Amino acid sequence: MVRPMFPGHGAAHERPRTRRFVPLLVASLSFAVAGLGTPGSAGAAMNFCAAPALQASETTQAEPGVQALIRSVDARIGEQPKALARVHTEGTLPHEGIYDQSADALKDMELMRDAALAWRVTNAPRYLQLVDRFLSAWVATYQPSFNPIDETRFDSLIVAYDMTASALPVKTRNATAAFIAKLGAGYVAQIDAQKRPLTGTWRNNWQSHRIKLIALSAFTLGDRKMMNAAQRLFVEHLADNIGPDGKTWDFEERDALHYAVYDLQPLVTAALAARRFNRNWLRERGANGATLAAALDWLVPYALGEKTHEEFVNSPVPFDAKRREAGLPGYTGQWDPKNATELFHLAARLDGRYARVARQLSPMPPAWLAACLPLQAR
* Whole-number pLDDT of residue 44: 47
Beta carbons within 8 Å of 251's beta carbon, 6+ residues apart: 257, 259, 260, 263
Whole-angstrom distance, CA of residue 227 vs CA of residue 215: 7
Whole-angstrom distance, CA of residue 256 vs CA of residue 246: 15
List, in sequence order, the alpha helices (H) in the chain. Answer: 22-35, 51-55, 64-74, 99-122, 125-141, 148-151, 154-164, 170-192, 205-221, 224-241, 249-254, 257-275, 292-303, 318-325, 341-350, 355-361, 367-372
* Whole-number pLDDT of residue 11: 36
- Dihedral angle sign, alpha carbons of residues 281, 152, 338, 114: negative
* Whole-number pLDDT of residue 306: 98
pLDDT tens track, the chain, 378 positions: 333 332 333 333 333 333 333 343 344 334 333 443 344 555 444 689 975 444 444 445 558 889 999 999 999 999 999 999 999 999 999 999 999 999 999 999 999 999 999 999 999 999 999 999 999 999 999 999 999 999 999 999 999 999 999 999 999 999 999 999 999 999 999 999 999 999 999 999 999 999 999 999 999 999 999 999 999 999 999 999 999 999 999 999 999 999 999 999 999 999 999 999 999 999 999 999 999 999 999 999 999 999 999 999 999 999 999 999 999 999 999 999 999 999 999 999 999 999 999 999 999 999 999 999 988 644
DSSP 40: T
Q: What are phi and psi of 317, to 5 degrees?
A: -85, 120
* Whole-number pLDDT of residue 41: 53
* Whole-number pLDDT of residue 63: 80
Count of other CB atoms within 10 angstroms of residue 196: 9
CATH of domain 19-377: 1.50.10.100
Contact by Cβ (8 Å): 158, 187: no
* Whole-number pLDDT of residue 47: 84
**366 alpha carbon, distance to own chain's centre:** 12
Q: What is the pTM of this model?
A: 0.88
Q: What are phi and psi of 184, to 5 degrees?
A: -65, -45
* Whole-number pLDDT of residue 29: 36
Query: Could you please report the per-residue DSSP string of 118-139?
Result: HHHHH--HHHHHHHHHHHHHHH
Whole-angstrom distance, CA of residue 292 vs CA of residue 285: 8
Whole-angstrom distance, CA of residue 134 vs CA of residue 144: 17
121: number of CA atoms within 13 Å, CB side? 33
Whole-angstrom distance, CA of residue 82 vs CA of residue 270: 27
Contact by Cβ (8 Å): 358, 345: yes
Query: Could you please report the per-residue DSSP string of 194-260?
Result: SPSSP-GGGTSHHHHHHHHHHHHHHHHHTBHHHHHHHHHHHHHHHHHHB-TTS-BHHHHHH--HHHH
